[in-house]
Structure 1
Amino acid sequence: MVDKTIISFFKENYNDNPLIIKAPGRINLIGEHTDYNKGFVLPASIEKGIYFAVSANNSEAIRIEAFLSQPEKIEFALNGTHKEFNSFWGNYFKAIIEILISENYPLKGMDCVFGGDIPIGSGLSSSAALCCGFIYAITKISGKKLSREKIALIAQKAEHKIGLNCGLMDQYAVLFGKKGNAFFLDCNDLTHSYIPINLNGYSWVLVNSNIKHNLAVDSEYNKRRISCENIVKEVKLSKPNVCSLRDVTLKDLNNISDKIDAIDIKRAKYIIEENERVRRMMKALTKGDAQEVGNILNEGHWAMSTQYEITTSELDALVKIGENLEGVLGSRMMGGGFGGCTINLIQTSKLESSISSLLEEYKSQTSIDAEYYHLAIDDGVKVYSN
């Protein structure tokens, strides 16, 4: 168990009995790239996560150590100063500490060791888990509570500081997830509700294409966001009340088709139709209609492939292979795009044979060994143990 290993390491190196915080990764059943367009998303938090072993150290520093393949130890003074570091993850902690200092949050010295079992770059939102879990851990040590809504905003701001202009879906899913439920979030007003996943006899499986993605500054992610903003700006000229693609209709797109780039139109059409797929998915899950759930997954994937153009040939191959396997009801790429995983709904009685056939055919077509992970829907960020 990851958490036990981290606890043992912490006790051995810091001579204290730590508090353990678990921040889960998240899957997204449907609703990709709709969050920053004020639309609908349907994520869920999962069992895989990042664990933080923390304790107060009665010093003027926050000491953070990664229990990862390439360990590094970083120390931040409570005023935010630090020595140079090499790890990319250090930028997240740096951004969080700087934000908290700017908001006069009463930081206290603490020791922190973190590690987990979320595959990095697989679309399971390891960065949101890292940020939300660390902020939550700070509140436990510092003693000043922050609402989960506030933690989400700070985590989002930290991601913005290092160059990813993300929405709030990942942070909310990581913080508010509930075991056995999908989490419906309206990204316009942040209202949310829980949708029971009534799919007995079916299993969720993540297949990692082993094509890594890195959503960085000036990435393709940000280019698509600009496309969406271009559409809103143009529609707003005739409909002043329009504030986001949430307010734009397919008819509006048709009306401006001769005034704006065709690529922007195509991307906006994807977002509008993806919001409708979220509504359909909620109904299908509640009714327990596994066939419809699978259909929506496949439909969503090919829309991402041909309209939003964020998949890869390897991810397309995984979905196409699944379409020809009897036990696979549906699958789609999940996450920001350009690599990562597919999420698959598979008949439990045919689970092992379906996965075996899928991986074998994928290796045959791409010469890449894919990995798979069984998914269980779990709770959001929480104190895991003392």
Structure 2
Amino acid sequence: MQRKLIENTKAAFRKAFHTEPEHLFLAPGRVNIIGEHVDYNDGFVLPAAIDKYICFAVKKENDSDICTFFAADLDQFFSFNTKEKQVPVEKQWANYLLGVFNAIQESGRDTGGLRIAFSSTIPMGSGLSSSAALECGFAYILNTLFDLRLSKSEMALIGQKSEHTFVGVNCGIMDQFASVFGKENKVIMLDCNSLDHHYYDAKLEGYAWVLFDSCVKHTHLTSGYNDRRRDVDKGKEVLHKKFPQVQKFRDFTLAMLEECREDMGAVPYIRCRYLLKEIRRVEQAVQALSESRPEELGRLMNETHNGLSREFEVSCEEIDFLVEETQKEKGVLGARMMGGGFGGCSINLIREDSVEDITGKISKKYQDRFNIQMKIYSVKISDGIQEYTSDEHIQS
């Protein structure tokens, strides 16, 4: 799969620019094993880079200030002058790249012209962070070819800033961080505020990570997200007033929350309860991985889905159906919705010898119930962004 992507991207470069690329880069998508909606609530997340990539074929233009992109999957070109001030444009995919360049330009670093063709195996719109791969992949290319001396954290933050300023999405740092910092068979326990992080083994012999794409995304994601933030903020206000000595939300206990239940009201209480329990589940999941207890990890995933669906209320009928039917199957350790909610993918931990049978059953049930053909992605935990300069590095 990786080899095919690289060969296709090299062919696209030749077609677009009538020459050979000099460099190849792979930028991965990501999954989040556990820890949803806690990244903006003083909690930890547990993401990992996956073996779905954007491949960039690149040639440096020493005698030009023009940077030209060919988006092979869209059959579209876009160019800009690296000596000019950049502003957002109508072509949305280009804004992810322009935002990265603008952030680097504002830092006072100098770059030059490039020709870049790119293609992807990261499914678009499925919650696997193709946008972060695009942003951070370009930042990595500029850093490598123009010796900008950016740290990995700086590249992740530049990707996030691009999305904030040129795309208009006020995203957290998790997606960009996972794309840059990913390691094969490792999950990252990340504090999204401080960027403190630790790696933990995630080599689960005999088990596979499989994503079921519901192929739906309900329009109330943004409004629902904003409503949840207001609910949580109200709960936090009551907690901090009663317990001013506690600085971070994650340090409140469930007993403290219970004391504030009447003052904050039913909805803020249940939202905060989900978050405090989810923060603790992330810590428990790390322990389960460290001790090679996949059954315990699966149990925590099931608890997370129950909390997201019934307490934080960000699931939907289609995802609940996928998760609940999957959880019934023998050979499934855990299943839950992944991402912001109201559609997208479920993430499932399944015994390898059961994957084919279970995916067939769930796909048929989903088709029968909603008349939608779900998509299935088996993923492996992979390295972060890297340059590939010879076929000896390429996985077949």
Shorter-normalised TM-score: what interval? over 0.9
What residue is the counterpart of 1:54 in the other structure? 58
RMSD: 2.2
4+ residue runs over 6 A deviation: 213-216
1:262 to 1:158, Cα distance in 2 relative to 1, 3 A = farther
- 1:366 maps to 2:354: no
CA shift digits 1:198-250 (9 cap, x unpaired): 4211111111111136898x543344334333333333334445454223332
Q: 1:230 corresponds to which letter in structure 2?
A: K
Match of 2:394 in 1: none
Match of 1:140 among 144, 155, 162: 144
Provide the secondary structure at the position in 1 that maps to 2:334. strand
Query: 1:64-83, aligned counterparts within 5 Å?
Result: 64-68=69-73, 70-81=74-85
**TM-score scaled to structure 1, two decimals?**
0.92
**Which residue is 1:7 aligned to?**
10
SS at match of 2:358: helix
Task: For 1:22-171, list aligned pairs within 5 A.
Answer: 22-57=26-61, 58-68=63-73, 70-81=74-85, 85-161=89-165, 162-171=167-176
Contact 2:69/2:116, CA 8 A, preserved across alignment: yes
Q: How far off its partner does 1:314 sit? A: 0.6
1:304 partner SS: helix
Tell me the secondary structure at the aligned position of residue 209 of structure 1. strand
Matching residue of 1:178: 183
Please state whether the residue corresponding to 1:333 is helix, strand or coil.
strand
Quote the Cα distance in structure 2 between the aligned partners of 1:248 and 1:55.
Answer: 52
Task: Write the distance in 2 (CA, Å) between the matches of 1:128 and 1:166.
Answer: 10
Which segment is superposed worse, 53-62 or 37-46?
53-62
Aligned twin of 2:299: 295
Q: Is the 8 A contact 2:143 2:150 kept in 1?
A: yes
Say if 1:215 and 1:59 are closer, same or farther in 2 by CA, change over 3 A: farther
Equivalent residue, structure 2, for 1:378: 382
* C-alpha contact 1:36 1:168 (8 A) present in aligned 2: no
Q: Find 2:287's aligned residue among 277, 283, 289.
A: 283
In structure 2, which of residues 328, 348, 353 is the aligned counterpart of residue 349 of structure 1? 353
Per-residue deviation at 1:351?
A: 1.7
Could you tell me whether the CA contact under 8 Å between 2:314 and 2:341 is conserved in 1? yes
Paired AA for residue 33 in structure 2: L
Q: Kindly indicate whether the alpha-carbon contact (under 8 Å) linking 1:204 and 1:376 is maintained by their aligned counterparts in 2.
A: yes
**1:143: how far off?**
2.1
- Check conservation: 2:156, 2:177, Cα contact below 8 A: yes
Displacement of 1:81 in angstroms is 4.8
Q: Is residue 85–residue 102 contact of structure 2 (8 Å, CA) maintained in 1?
A: no
Q: 1:116 to 1:35 in 2, by over 3 A?
A: same
CA distance 1:82–1:185, change in 2 (3 Å): closer
Counterpart position of 2:316: 312
Can you give the 5+ residue segments of structure 1 that lack an aligned partner in the other structure? none
TM-superposed CA distance for 1:303, in Å, is 0.7
Match of 1:20 in 2: 24
CA distance in 2 between counterparts of 1:239 and 1:194 reads: 33
Amino acid at match of 1:180: N
Instruction: Pick one of 202, 208, 219 that aligns with 1:203.
Output: 208
Q: TM-score, normalised by structure 2?
A: 0.90
Amino acid at match of 1:338: F
Match of 1:230 in 2: 234
3-state DSSP of counterpart to 1:342: strand
Q: Which amino acid aligns with 1:298?
A: N
> Counterpart in 1 of 2:393?
none
Question: 1:71–1:320: structure 2 CA closer, same or farther, 3 Å change rule?
Answer: same
364 and 379 in structure 1: CA distance in 2 versus 1, 3 angstrom threshold: same
TM-fit CA distance, 1:286? 2.0
CA distance in 2, matches of 1:244, 1:130: 33
Change in 2 beyond 3 A, CA 1:175/1:12:
same
- Which consecutive residues of structure 2, in runs of 5 or more, have no partner in the other structure? 391-396
Counterparts of 1:50 and 1:95 in 2: how far apart (Å)? 18
Residues 72-110 of structure 1: CA deviation (Å, up to 9, x unaligned): 222122244569854321221222222222221212111
The secondary structure found in structure 2 opposite 1:94 is: helix
Q: Whole-Å Cα distance in 1 between the matches of residues 129 and 223 of structure 2?
A: 17
Give the AA of the match of 1:248: F
Pick which of 206-215 and 375-384 moved more.
206-215
Tell me the alpha carbon deviations over residues 35-93 of structure 1, each in whole angstroms, 9 at most, x when there is no partner. 1222111111111011112221231222122112x332221222445698543212212
Q: Distance in 2 between matches of 1:316 and 1:175?
A: 32
| Cα contact 2:88–2:98 (8 A) shared by 1 | no
Taking the aligned partners of 2:130 and 2:210, their CA distance within structure 1 comes to: 18
Deviation digits for residues 118-165 of structure 1 (CA, Å, limit 9, x no counterpart): 111111111111111111111122221210011111111122223322
Task: Tell me the SS of whatever aligns to 2:33.
Answer: strand
Query: Of the candidates 240, 253, 271, which is equivalent to residue 267 of structure 1?
Result: 271
CA contact (8 A) 1:181 1:195 kept: yes
Q: Which moved more, 1:126-135 or 1:85-94?
A: 85-94
Partner of 2:109: helix, strand, or coil? coil
Change (3 A) 1:174 1:213: farther
